[in-house]
Every structure is written in C-alpha cells, then in structure tokens.
Amino acid sequence: NIPVANCIVTTRPPTQLKGVVDPQRRRELLEGLYALNGDPVRGRRVLLFDDLFRSGSTMNAITNVLMGQGGAASVHTFTITRTRSNQ
C-alpha cells in the first residue's frame, strides 16, 4: 500500500530537450516548467520515477519543485533507462 501522488504539472508546453547538449541551456529550458498541483508531499519522503535518464536535468527540476514549493522531506529518484550523454 504505497500512496501515489500525480502532483507535478507543466506550466507550459515543454521544449524538446533531445538535441540540447549544453547543460546550462537544458536548465534554462526547464526553468519554471514544472509546478506542484496541490500539497500532497509536505514533510513526506518522495520516490520520483522517470522512464529515461540522460543528464538529470528534468529530475533535478522536478526535485527542486518537490523540495522547495512542495516541502518534501526528501526526494529519491529511480529511472528505467539511462542513455549516453554528450557531456
């Protein structure tokens, strides 16, 4: 009985990051893209799932929202696939 909270929403249509290799540019494109829908994570430990890990930019952006705006006690991440990075 593990609770699931689908609480991350996008604030605008996302930009495709596949061809963006510059880490700073990836962070800029993700800035303000994600927001929290509700307050289900305050003080809780969160396990964040993503299907693909390339640079970690997306997970970092969402983790920042969960910890900052959401007040999560901690965020741990899990991915299914890791791709090669040009970094």
Q: Which element (helix H / strand E) includes 15?
A: none
pTM of the model: 0.84
Q: List the chain domain ranges.
A: 8-13+22-82
Which residues are paired to 52 by β-bridges?
81
Q: pLDDT tens for residues 6-62? A: 899 999 998 888 888 888 999 999 999 999 998 789 999 999 998 888 888 899 999
For residue 34, count other CB atoms closer than 10 A to its CB. 19
So what's the pLDDT on residue 86? 54
The answer to whether the beta carbons of residues 59 and 76 sit under 8 Å apart is no
Distance CA 6, CA 8 (A): 6
